[in-house]
Amino acid sequence: MSDERLFPGPSPVQADTLNAWRELFESKHSADFAQLKGTDCLEQPIFPFEVNYRDIDQNDLLSLYFNEMPVSTIELANEVLRTMVAEYEVSDIRCILRPVSLPPERTKSISALRMRNRGTIVSCVVRIKDVGPRLGYLQEALYVCAKCDHRETVKQRIARERKRPEGPCKECFNKAMVDFEGKIPYSYYERLRNSMKLTAEGSFYKDIQYLSVSDIDDSSSQPIWVIIDDEFVDEFDVGDTVRINGIVQIDPVPDRNFMKDTRRILQIHAFSVEPL
């Protein structure tokens, strides 16, 4: 067995992506960070960090990962933004990446979207037909061990069963391995696993809203649901025409148990919305 120690941290791919985002923000958007110093965090707690898609596409690494793994790549960009905001001594303002000005080849009509488009980035000009209620979405769930107060954060997905930590508390498990000499009784293992409890304080919630949209040139066609979040919530009305830039996803049929029912519907999770 190798004596090489493994340290927690980002993988090489993640590290390269983080560095690429930082280089882009420093070279193209340093003025935006300087502007944030005078921003009133009470009036504007969320700052939409608009980045031209062309700037992303000109970086070979970002272009590859943004188009192939958009969700995780955007999460890494937001992590860099959080770090840079702290470096610029701007407190209580959350910056969110908002890619805009997608190229024409990304433009799709709502009626042309199919299941094979899942996971792809699209840009759709739509008319809003219905606006859903404002909802709260548990994005990151904080679990705390009832025995030792060990904490673990688990990322969640919208409209999915809430995820728990994989296995028991790591601290208690390692101690039990020593106490039982590597042979932990199953009943004790289950007690360790159930000791991880969800806590509301420390869990991260965000505002989301569903918009029912259709193609502007064919309002009679089947609409699709678009998920918007944060500063876009409650900003749009029925009849508005906007450009939705986002990722095609699938969701369970409403009012169905998604664990047993295999039917799915298409939706778009918007990462930016451009008024027209």
d(CA 237, CA 243): 14
Over 90: is that where the pLDDT of 269 sits? yes
Greater pLDDT, 69 or 90 = 69
All domains of the chain, ordered by start, with CATH? 12-100 (3.30.1640.10), 104-135+207-275 (2.40.50.140), 137-204 (2.20.28.10)
CB 168 within 8 A of CB 187: no
pLDDT on residue 18: 94
The confidence band for 2, taking pLDDT boundaries of 50, 70 and 90, is very low
The confidence band for 5, taking pLDDT boundaries of 50, 70 and 90, is very low
Among 219, 239, 235, 222, which Cα is nearest to 270's? 235
| Beta-carbon count within 10 A of 162 CB | 10
Over 70: is that where the pLDDT of 38 sits? no
The whole model's pTM is what?
Answer: 0.84
Instruction: Give me the percent of the chain exceeding a pLDDT of 70.
Output: 91
pLDDT (mean) for 82-96 = 80
Q: What is the 3-state secondary structure (H, E, C) of the chain?
A: CCCCCCCCCCCHHHHHHHHHHHHHHHHHCHHHHHHHCCCCCCCCCEEEEEEEHHHHHCCHHHHHHHHHCHHHHHHHHHHHHHHHHHHCCCCCCEEEEEEECCCHHHECCHHHCCHHHCCCEEEEEEEEEEECCCEEEEEEEEEEECCCCCEEEEECCCCCCCCCCCCCCHHHHHHHHHHCCCCCCHHHHHHHHHCEEEEEEEEEEEEEEEEEEEECCCCCCCCEEEEEEHHHCCCCCCCCEEEEEEEEEEEECCCCCCCCCCCEEEEEEEEEEEEC
Over 80: is that where the pLDDT of 37 sits? no
pLDDT on residue 42: 63
Greater pLDDT, 130 or 257 = 130
Which residues face 213 on adjacent strands?
128, 224
The confidence band for 119, taking pLDDT boundaries of 50, 70 and 90, is very high
d(CA 231, CA 120): 23
Model confidence over 204-257: pLDDT tens digits? 999 999 999 999 887 667 899 999 999 999 999 999 999 999 999 988 776 666
Greater pLDDT, 8 or 48 = 48
Over 70: is that where the pLDDT of 77 sits? yes
Greater pLDDT, 259 or 10 = 10
Q: Which residue has the tokens 């148990």?
A: 257
Model confidence over 152-193: pLDDT tens digits? 999 988 877 888 888 888 889 989 888 888 888 888 888 888
The confidence band for 6, taking pLDDT boundaries of 50, 70 and 90, is very low
